[in-house]
Amino acid sequence: MSTKVATAAHDGDETDRGASRRTSTRTLAVLGALLLLGVAVALSLAVGSRSLALPTVLHALLHDDGSTAGSVIWDVRVPRTLAGIAAGAALGVAGALIQALTRNPLADPGLLGVNAGAATGVVLSLTVLGVSSLWASVWFAMAGAVIAGLLAYSLASGGRGGATPERLALGGAVIAAVFTGVSQTLMLLDAQVLDQLRFWSVGSLARADGDTLTTVGPFIGAGLLLALALVRPLNALALGDDAARALGADLNRTRVLGLLAVTTLCGAATSAVGPLVFVGLAVPHMARMIAGADQRWTLPLSLLLAPSLLLFADVLGRVVVRPDELDAGVVTAVVGAPVFIALVRHRRVVSS
Q: For the segment 182-211, what is each residue's pLDDT rounded down to a tens digit?
A: 988 988 888 888 877 877 888 889 888 888
Instruction: Kindly give the residue spans of alpha helices, DSSP state H, lying in the chain.
Output: 2-46, 54-62, 68-71, 78-102, 114-127, 134-157, 165-188, 191-197, 210-228, 231-237, 241-246, 251-273, 279-291, 295-319, 328-351
Q: What is the mean pLDDT of residues 162-191?
A: 82
Q: 5 pLDDT exceeds 60?
A: no
The pLDDT score that the predictor gives to residue 17 is 65
Q: What is the mean pLDDT of residues 231-254?
A: 84
Whether residue 233 is preceded by a cis peptide bond, meaning omega within 30 degrees of 0, is no
Distance between CA atoms of residues 174 and 152, nearest Å: 8
Query: What is the value of pTM for the model shown?
Result: 0.85
**342 or 74: which carries more pLDDT confidence?**
74
> How many CB atoms are closer than 10 A to CB 122?
28
On whether the CB atoms of residues 175 and 112 are closer than 8 A, the answer is yes
Question: pLDDT tens digit string along 46-96?
Answer: 998 788 888 888 888 888 777 888 888 999 999 999 999 999 999 999 999
Q: What is the mean pLDDT of residues 316-343?
A: 82
The pLDDT score that the predictor gives to residue 203 is 85
Least trusted range by pLDDT, from 67-71, 270-274, 316-320:
67-71
The average confidence (pLDDT) of the chain is: 84
Most confident of 107-121, 191-205, 306-320: 306-320
The pLDDT score that the predictor gives to residue 307 is 96
The pLDDT score that the predictor gives to residue 160 is 67
| 205 Cβ contact partners less than 8 Å away, ≥ 6 residues apart | 80, 83, 84, 87, 273, 310, 314, 328
Q: What is the mean pLDDT of residues 207-230?
A: 91
The one-letter code for the residue type at 83 is A
* Cα 52 from chain centroid (whole Å): 29
Q: 349 pLDDT exceeds 80?
A: no
**94 or 248: which carries more pLDDT confidence?**
94
Q: 9 pLDDT exceeds 60?
A: no
Q: 45 pLDDT exceeds 90?
A: yes
On whether the CB atoms of residues 295 and 96 are closer than 8 A, the answer is yes
Backbone angles phi, psi at 226, to 5 degrees: -65, -40
The one-letter code for the residue type at 47 is V
Distance between CA atoms of residues 99 and 346, nearest Å: 16
Least trusted range by pLDDT, from 161-165, 244-248, 285-289, 341-345:
161-165
Question: pLDDT tens digit string along 130-157?
Answer: 877 888 888 998 899 889 888 887 887 7
The pLDDT score that the predictor gives to residue 39 is 96
Q: Is 157 exposed, middle or buried (0-12, 13-18, 19+ CB in 10 A)?
A: middle
Distance between CA atoms of residues 128 and 281, nearest Å: 32
For the chain, what percent of residues have pLDDT higher than 70?
Answer: 89
